[in-house]
Structure 1
Amino acid sequence: MRIIFLGTSAGRPTKARNVTSIALKLPDPANGFWLIDCGEGTQHRLLSSKLKLNRLERILITHLHGDHIYGLPGLLTSRSYFDGAGPLQIYGPIGIRAYLEGVFEHSGVHLEYELDFIEIDSTGIIAQDDGFIVEAAPLEHRMPSYGYRITELPQPGHLDLTKLAELKVPPGPLYGRLKRGEDVKLAGGVIIRSSDVVGPSVPGRIVTILGDTKPCGNAVILAQGADLLVHEATFGAGMEEKAEAYGHSTVLQAAEIAAKAGVRQLLLTHFSSRFDDEAVEKLTADAQTIFPDTVAARDYLEIHVPRMGSNASSV
């Protein structure tokens, strides 16, 4: 599982940073990806990545400010030109359907695939499949804004190949059945129990991505124990009054949320355009005084989210 930042600026783009969009690359064998927010120019950023729009499965919109949604009409239209582009789900606050349908109506767009809208207005599970559970909760911003907690379901344990060889279990389909938790019978009538040759299940990973918000209780709840928290850091230390007025957070407030929630790693994003790269380094250093494992996102930064017991790394 990987996080790829396609835009890390707040409000408007800069020469170095586009406005907000994040891709979540799913682990094999799914081989697809999701988008969290889609600011103007997101599809241009995708052109410089290995991600293809026909592999896009879900879009999660945190809120309806333009720097988070103005890239949607163009991206969705371009997706029609990709072979194999199947149905696409869009999650977001109430109004996301009306916004897109209005644009499509007045611009004459006809998509070549099914678009499914899931508008949210409460706390709880909004999606669940064989691989993931997605939960949403409202944050505190100048308009309805949501955070998302994406939980990977536990994975089957590892096969004990040495023991399987000792029990004379032939490699092949029986291995798969055992790994899926099924007991099997060998040709001689011997029963091999899955629990005897498969290790304990591997905990799934948790990624929390918050929309624009000032510090609030739901931010901590959504991030509790997460492997990775992506939190906005629009303002620097000492700018708390401005952050409060605009419904945003400072870098120190983001670090405090990470510490309270007990996350493994904090990724800061959504930096005000007033901050250049040197200033962002200073902001990150400030946050690290509260939460040491803090990294500043930049456009095209790719972060591997490791399973428990391994170390995080960026590519």
Structure 2
Amino acid sequence: MEIYFLGTNAGVPTLQRNVTSIALRLMEERRSFWMFDCGEGTQHQVLRSPLRLGKLEKLFITHLHGDHLFGLPGLLSSRGYQGGTAPLTVYGPPGLKAFLDVSLSVSQSRMPYKLEIVEHTGGLVFEDETFKVEAGLLEHRIDSYGYRVTEKDSPGSLNTELLQSYGLKPGPLYGKLKKGEDVTTESGVVIRASEVVHEPKKGRIVTILGDTRPCPGSLPLAQEADLIIHEATFAHDLAEMAYQYHHSTAVQAAELAREAEGRELLLTHFSSRYVSQEELTPLLEEAQAIFPQTLLAEEFCTFPVYRRK
């Protein structure tokens, strides 16, 4: 599980950074990746990345401002030309379907895959046997949502050395043990699953928050997350401006991560006034003074999501 940034700028693209888009790479877990937001030019960013749109499985939109949305029609249209034939589901706030219906129909875009559009107003938006995704309303000029992606715990591995000492070879009984069932060997030895199965692997939690100023809705989404991705549009000397524009400072993002007892914080969605990564250093230092496990997002960079021991 890895995070890969395709765009980290706020509002409009610059020569240094594109507008918002984040990929959650799940190649080991699902042989696919998910995308969060799709600002204008995202498909160009994908071409410069190791990502392949044919592997895009799900796309989540936080809110309907253009810097998070305007790249979506082009990306959906291009996906078919890049080998994308598997179904794709797009999730987002009410109004998303109308936007896509009009843009895709007027342009007569034809896609060789099933496209499903799911509008939501928060709550559980997706769940299967390995993952669930919950959404919560934040505080922005329009409805903006954060997403909490929870990887479910996976069964622990078998102690194969111990099993071989019992004379048990790989086969159907291995599967029963991994499911927690006790088994009996041909020689009559009872093997208890609790003695030969390691502890379950704890699932990871990734929280990706859309545009927001500090609000109560952020905390439940971020609680004890392994990785929190939070906007940091301004340094804290512009806190009043951030509030007026319904955005957050790096300090406010760090305060949330600390209160939520998260493990790591990634700052993104930077104002164009901070041109280079060096000019973002004060934002990083402000945040690290409150929450030391803070990093700056950087486009075309991979950030692993580490599993708790």
Normalised TM-score (structure 2): 0.96
> Equivalents in 2 of 1:176, 1:299: separation in Å?
42
Q: What is residue 121 of structure 2 aligned with on the other side?
A: 121
1:193 matched to 2:192? The reply is yes
Trace 1:174-185 onto structure 2 (pairs within 5 A): 174-185=173-184
**Equivalent position of 1:132 in the other structure:** 131
Equivalent residues of 2:3, 2:23 under 8 A apart? yes
Give, in angstroms, the shift of residue 177 of structure 1. 3.9
Q: CA offsets, 1:100-122, max 9 Å, x none?
A: 11001111112111111111113
- Summarize the Cα distance change of 1:180–1:26 in structure 2 as closer, same or farther, 3 Å threshold: farther
Aligned-partner residue type, residue 28 of structure 1: E
Verify the 8 A CA contact 1:136 1:149 in the aligned structure 2: yes
Q: Find the residue that maps to 1:108 and give its secondary structure.
A: coil
User: What is the DSSP-based 3-state SS (H/G/I as helix, E as strand, rest coil) of the residue aligned with 1:81?
Assistant: helix
Matched ranges for 1:1-315 at <5 A: 1-83=1-83, 85-122=85-122, 124-276=123-275, 277-309=277-309
Q: CA deviation at 1:29?
A: 4.4
User: Aligned partners of 2:191, 2:99: CA distance in 1, in Å?
Assistant: 57
Contact persistence 1:6–1:22 (CA under 8 A):
yes
CA shift digits 1:248-280 (9 cap, x unpaired) = 001111111111111000000000011022220
Residue pair 2:39, 2:70 contacting (<8 A) in 1 also: yes
Task: Report the Cα offset of residue 85 of structure 1.
Answer: 2.2
Q: Is the 8 A contact 2:158 2:197 kept in 1?
A: yes
Q: Distance in 2 between matches of 1:14 and 1:173?
A: 58
AA aligned to 2:36 is I
Structure 1 segments, 4+ long, off by >6 Å, are none
2:18 maps to amino acid: N
Q: Which runs of 5+ in 1 are unaligned?
A: 310-315
Distance 1:12 1:172 in 2: 57
Which is worse superposed, 171-180 or 25-34?
Answer: 171-180
- Amino acid aligned to 2:64: L
SS in 1 for 2:251: helix
After superposition, what is the alpha-carbon deviation per residue over 1:105-160, rounded to whole angstroms, capped at 9, x for unaligned? 111112111111111113x2111011111110000000000000000000111211
Question: Is this contact kept in 2: 1:5–1:302, CA < 8 A?
Answer: yes
Structure 2: which amino acid aligns with 1:134? V
Give the share of equivalent positions with the same residue, in percent: 52
Give the whole-Å Cα distance in 2 for the aligned partners of 1:285 and 1:79: 39
Distance in 2 between residues matched to 1:29 and 1:283, nearest whole Å: 33
TM-score, reference length from structure 1: 0.94
**Alpha carbon RMSD of aligned pairs, Å?**
1.4
**CA 1:294–1:107: 2 relative to 1, 3 Å:** same
CA shift digits 1:179-220 (9 cap, x unpaired)? 233444433454433222101211100000000000011111
User: Offset of 1:80 from its aligned partner?
Assistant: 1.2
Q: Does the C-alpha gap of structure 1 residues 8 and 200 become closer, same or farther in structure 2, counting only changes over 3 Å?
A: same
Counterpart CA distance in 1 for 2:115 and 2:176 is 36
Aligned partner of residue 97 in structure 2, secondary structure: helix
Measured at CA, do residues 84 and 68 of structure 1 come closer, stay the same or move farther in structure 2, by a change above 3 Å?
closer
1:313 is matched with none
Partners of 1:69 and 1:60 lie apart in 2 by: 10
C-alpha contact (below 8 Å) 1:55/1:85 kept by paired residues? no
C-alpha contact (below 8 Å) 2:53/2:84 kept by paired residues: no
Matching residue's letter, 2:90? I
3-state SS of 1:105 partner: helix
1:289 is paired with a residue of what secondary structure?
A: helix
Whole-Å separation in 2 of the counterparts to 1:91 and 1:60: 5
Question: Structure 2: where are the runs of 5+ without partners?
Answer: none
Q: Distance in 2 between matches of 1:234 and 1:147?
A: 16
The SS at the match of 1:54 is helix
Is the 2:39–2:71 Cα contact (8 Å) retained in structure 1? yes
Residue deviations 1:207-246, cap 9 Å, x none? Answer: 0000000001111110000000000000111111111111
